[in-house]
Amino acid sequence: MTSVSPDIIAQHLREVADDVILPRFQNLQAHEIDTKTGPNDLVTIADREAEVQLTRIFKDILPGSYVVGEEAVSAGQAAIDALATEPGYVWVVDPVDGTGNFSRGEPIFGLMAALVYKGQTVQGWIYDIPGQRMGIAETGAGTTLNGKKQRIDTKEPDISFSNLKAYIATGFVPKQIRPLIVPKLESFEKANALNCCAHEYLNLLEGARDFSFYKRMKPWDHLPGLLLYQEAGGYSRSWAGERHSPANDQTGIINAPDETLWQRLHSFLLDPEIQKLVQPQIS
């Protein structure tokens, strides 16, 4: 397997962010913001231009590699299926994660990238552009945040849910179970979403939140963060209790500091009654 310098990729991410994304922060014109699948699914000129630059850079670094970019997939120029069908390297990139926040001038957005080889995520990067936090992970080499090794703190077995803070994006939870999930959120100290997976995963690494619960599993939103979290010692499993596969965007996931807490959260959030309603999605 070819070795890609994680620091060189990180530098490219910083440069593209500085050259293309930051100059447009709080400076977007109306014609530079567009919609994709609906009024809340936004794309900006910064998303598109940053992805074009990163695609060129990634292909230059690994000739013959394939790039799954969020905007290219949206435009029909790339396919998520490549994560399952391509025999070699596949880059995954989200040029501006948290586009809604970015377009409103809110400093909660980032740049995410991952490298997948033969169906496994082997490297990942998350760059919090406004906060200049750079998270890097490599399979078997651990996770760093701004060059410092990160480890997830495990929780006491008898910890009360009322002491836990979570990222839970209820808007993407299937409609048939949403009324059953939402009341459960009152059991936690805090449970909301930032609408930016880049910040959510970095905050999980730093201990600002204790766990996260997701249903919408687009690869550019989660592959970098999952690798960072797992390489730092976190426990991530699908709703069915399996390791997440880069090619599978159909099942949800729970990220927790350890298996014990994961099991407790899974039993509580996806109790048998809920599992009956979503069985096809967790099996």
Given pLDDT bands bounded at 50, 70 and 90, which one contains residue 2? low
Q: Give yes or no for a contact between 134 and 8, defined as CB atoms under 8 angstroms apart.
A: no
How far is Cα 173 from Cα 165, in angstroms, rounded to an integer? Answer: 18
In this predicted structure, what is the pLDDT of residue 280?
60
Q: At residue 283, does pLDDT exceed 60?
A: no
Looking at CATH, the fold of the domain delimited by 6-149 is given as: Fructose-1,6-Bisphosphatase; Chain A, domain 1 (3.30.540)
The token duo for 140 is 């078997």
Q: Give yes or no for a contact between 121 and 227, defined as CB atoms under 8 angstroms apart.
A: yes
- Give percent of the chain with pLDDT exceeding 70: 97
The CATH code that applies to domain 161-282 is 3.40.190.80
How far is Cα 124 from Cα 115, in angstroms, rounded to an integer? Answer: 6
- What's the pLDDT tens digit per position in 143-190? 999 999 999 998 888 899 999 999 998 888 888 899 999 999 999 999
Q: At residue 1, does pLDDT exceed 80?
A: no
pTM value is 0.95
Arithmetic mean of pLDDT, 67-73: 95
The token duo for 111 is 């740049």
For the chain, what are the domain ranges? 6-149, 161-282
